[in-house]
Copies of this chain bind each other. A is one copy, B any other.
């Protein structure tokens, strides 16, 4: 591989000068600059980022560890993160934890060893030792979407409570009383928040969340299917199933369809996370939409601040209800309609 040394040789200059040209250092003559650029061109020189990183202790890279790439929510998040990072001059390395603590560990460790400049994590739960270590260590860390209570890491997330209250109001207004929920892992902050808000919403209408109407899921499609099947097997099945992420909603749809039941006539369905496909399902699904891309952008900027040495602030953005047809005819004066 051709290095800076070869360039220096053909340009008839020292490596120091070549380096200066390559880094836009002001103190270099036009003649030298020209000769260096000509040499790099002629030799097809390509800088060795590895060597540069070793010397400068900066990799120009940030890590992003998410729970599940296959989940369209995280895909969109990842895309926004990469885009914003690129405009700020950073590359992004994505680690897919697949909702597994061991994989989360694996990726966080790998990224730290790679000496990324900063780390964006959506922690599965508080039980990944490496994540905790990273949160406490010297590398800048920002949590996105989910967070770990008790750490003093900045968090960029959306608050679904208001939207969930709106959802319960909506369901109540449509006459539904038997409300069931498929939760995520209760170890995740988002998992807990969503079921808590749901329960609070019911309480506001004088209803309580029946124990058998709580299905424990793991944010993956298969768990949504199983939970829904259990609901439908109950002597008194619920009127509505609220899946707390889009994949579990997909599983629920599967389970309902497999029994030949219709949404919303036989059972209504609502989901957390809005994705394009939800306007094309049969029927279109009422959802709670997060400002996903904005979340990603804000998180990157917070991380960049942290890397630059300034303190980063946590951000909470609101989610909102998107009423479609999967819970019955929309109430006349409701939230956003599609």
Residues of chain A whose beta carbon lies under 8 Å from any beta carbon of chain B: 1, 46-51, 53-54, 59, 69-70, 72, 75-76, 78-79, 82, 86, 91, 93-94, 96, 106, 109-110, 112-115, 138, 221, 250, 253-254, 257, 276-277, 279-283
Contacts and interface: CB of A to CB of B under 8 A. Distances in A.
Given A277-B280, A281-B281, 20 more contacts: A1-B138, A46-B109, A46-B112, A46-B113, A47-B113, A48-B113, A49-B113, A49-B115, A50-B54, A50-B115, A69-B78, A69-B82, A70-B76, A91-B110, A91-B114, A250-B276, A254-B279, A254-B280, A277-B277, A282-B283
Nearest to A68: B79
A93 B91 contact: yes
Contacts of A94: 94
B50 A114 contact: yes
B114 A49 contact: yes
Nearest to A257: B280
10 contacts: A1-B138, A48-B113, A50-B50, A50-B54, A50-B59, A50-B115, A72-B72, A94-B94, A280-B282, A282-B282
Contacts of A113: 46-49
Nearest to A251: B276
A80 to B, nearest CB: 10
A69 B79 contact: yes
A1 B137 CA distance: 11
Contacts of A250: 276-277, 280
A86 B160 CA distance: 35
B282 A221 contact: no
B54 A51 contact: yes
Most buried by B among A72, A91, A106, A221: A91
A110 to B, nearest CB: 6
A129 to B, nearest CB: 12
